[in-house]
Amino acid sequence: MIQWFNHPKDELLRDLALPATGTPVSSVAAQNLSLAVALRGTGRVSPNPLVGAVLVDGSHRFIAAAAHEKVGEPHAEANILRELRDSGKLDALRGGRMYVTLEPCAHEGRTPACARSLAGLGLKEVIYGMTDPNPLVSGKGAGILAGAGVHAVNASTSPEYLSWSAACADLASVFLHNISTGRLFTGLKIASSLDGVVAFQGDRRVWITNERARAYGHWLRMVYDAVAVGAGTVLADHPRLNVRHPFIADPVMTRTPRRVVFDPDARALEYALGSKSMPLVTEEPEKTIWLVADRKWIEPAEARGIKVVVVPVRDLPEAGARSRAFIWDEVDGVLQGLGVRSLLLEGGPGVYSMALGNPDPRTRPQLNRLHLFQAPVILGGLSPAGAKALRWNSAASTQQMIRQDRVQLFQLDGDWGVEIPFRDPLS
Ligand SMILES: NC(=O)c1ccc[n+]([C@@H]2O[C@H](COP(=O)([O-])OP(=O)(O)OC[C@H]3O[C@@H](n4cnc5c(N)ncnc54)[C@H](OP(=O)(O)O)[C@@H]3O)[C@@H](O)[C@H]2O)c1
């Protein structure tokens, strides 16, 4: 069974252990390994996709596994070839079979074309999880392999590999979305109680979900290029928005993501600039991107090393108390211009309602994925006047809640995580 859909991905990476050379591995084990090994590139390959590859010999014994680990560095297949070349074992490819999560590339770029490097080495079969989404090269890598006598199998058209193929597409979902729409991939993370409480008003500090669920939130900060919060969260929580993962300590992976603040009136920015203890200003300020509506903030903030970007806002009379919001196409363009391809909306309730309960499509992000963490507790009754609950209250959310395929559900020490991919593009 493919592990991908019902396992927390940080555990897949933690538990990744390559079999000893020569150990027999089943086809499904090789498929699972290709996905897990690909996670080694988490947070470092953008704007490329994560890719993993596994090589077995003609008797299906393990030879090697590798990932595309960093943008600009070799692809997964090239890393396997290098390993074999360095150890003088290129012959091991003869009659062997490679599982690779994405069709081997056909274009010479920063690295030589993988399909060409693999062709002619005696491989019997290359099974690839999905075709290259770039229409200019899609199918060409498979063509090069087939031309060299290698049996090239597209997993998405082979019943026995369909589940793996779906997982491979999920692994590459940011890249697929970027290529097919030219837009930012946008995720929304929510931690809530069973009764939908997401925050308390006033000074009350309550963790709704448990430590393990919060650790998974830190994993998501590795996965996305940038994380975003609203002005209210900055003022209430003074968040650091960095990565503090309890069992993944690789300093490259635990890099601080770009940190984005939605703050049209600059009320949080004004406070932050006057404060000596606001982490978004005092810790790695160059990672912070503050979105405001008035250019007068650019100078004072940039003097502190923070990037300030002016984004036009739109009045939203139909939204009630909140009367205006950023035009989402502008947010998308600004962030992509700064090299951000994926954005995780972390909260709080104001950001959620802009994303889920906002009837104006021009100011509503097109969500690609919901990450929902829930604790089996009922909190509203503890503080009926002061709890902020999640509201999915408009035509937008009704559309978004159309039943989705490929929901991922996993346990987090008694809490649970649900990851829901929205159909792409969502209208
Ligand atoms: N349970 C969770 O998962 C979770 C996650 C994060 C935070 N929280 C909690 O949430 C509480 C804060 O709630 P909140 O509703 O005040 O916070 P918020 O969502 O962080 O901030 C709301 C404000 O951000 C700005 N904003 C948000 N989306 C915008 C958009 N699309 N365009 C323009 N401006 C936008 C607006 O600022 P203006 O009003 O200035 O226009 C809005 O009022 C805190 O207690 C925090 O602990 C909970």
The two counts, helices (H) then strands (E), for the chain are 15, 18
- Residue 113 CA to ligand 1 centre (angstroms): 46
Segments in the chain below pLDDT 70: 110-111, 201-205, 317-322, 381-405, 423-427
pLDDT in tens, 235-289: 999 999 999 999 998 888 889 999 999 999 999 999 999 998 899 999 999 999 9
pLDDT in the model for residue 107: 84
CA dihedral of 84, 148, 105, 222, whole degrees rounded to 10: -40
Which of 192, 237, 262 is the pocket-test mutation for ligand 1 (most atoms within 8 Å of CB)?
262
- Decide whether any atom of ligand 1 lies within 6 Å of the 357 Cβ: no
Closest atom of ligand 1 to 349 CA is 15
Q: Which residues pair with 290 in a beta bridge?
A: 261, 308
Residue nearest to atom 30 of ligand 1 (CA): 325
Ligand 1 proximity of 270 Cβ (cutoff 6 Å): no
Index of the ligand 1 atom closest to the CA of residue 201: 45
Q: Is any atom of ligand 1 closer than 6 Å to the C-beta of 353?
A: no
Burial (CB < 10 A; 0-12, 13-18, 19+), residue 147, is exposed
d(CA 369, CA 343) in angstroms, rounded, equals 10
Q: Ligand 1 pocket: which of 351, 358, 366 to mutate (most atoms <8 Å of CB)?
A: 351
Q: Classify the C-alpha dihedral 214-216-221-225 as positive or negative.
A: negative
pLDDT at position 425: 44
Cα–Cα dist 172/167, whole Å? 9
CA distance 409 to 372: 10
Catalytic residue, candidates 11, 73, 77, 211: 77
CA distance 114 to 145: 10
Structure confidence at residue 365 (pLDDT) = 87
Residue nearest (by alpha carbon) to ligand 1 atom 7: 348
- The number of angstroms, rounded, from the C-alpha of 264 to the middle of its chain's C-alpha atoms is 26
Pick left, alpha or beta for residue 21 (phi over 0 → left; psi -120 to 50 → alpha; otherwise beta): beta
- Helical ranges in 285-383 per DSSP H: 298-302, 328-337, 349-356
Q: Is 309:291 a contact under the CB 8 Å cutoff?
A: yes
Domains delineated in the chain: 4-174 (3.40.140.10), 184-421 (3.40.430.10)
* Rounded (10°) angle between helices 162-171 and 27-38: 0
299 is catalytic: no
Q: Which has the closest alpha carbon to 33: 7, 3, 75, 6?
A: 3
Probe residue for ligand 1, chosen from 322, 324, 353 as the CB with the greatest number of ligand atoms within 8 Å: 322
Structure tokens at 70: 């960093």
Counting atoms of ligand 1 from 1, which one is nearest the CA of 192?
1
Q: What's the order of all strands across the beta sheet hosting 258-262?
A: 307-310, 288-292, 258-262, 226-230, 342-347, 185-193, 369-375, 415-421, 408-412
pLDDT at residue 26, rounded to an integer: 98
How far CA 135 is from CA of 13, 127, 160, 176, in Å, comes to: 31, 20, 25, 12
Measured in whole angstroms, the distance separating CA 98 from the mean position of its chain's CA atoms is: 26
Q: Which residues contact 23 (CB under 8 A, 6 or more apart)?
A: 61, 62
**345-363 tens-digit pLDDT:** 998 888 988 887 777 889 9
pLDDT recorded at residue 110: 66
pLDDT, position 422 = 79
The span from the CA of 317 to the CA of 88, in Å, is 69
Cβ of residue 417 lying under 6 Å from some atom of ligand 1: no
d(CA 80, CA 35) in angstroms, rounded, equals 15
Cβ of 11 closer than 6 Å to ligand 1, yes or no, is no
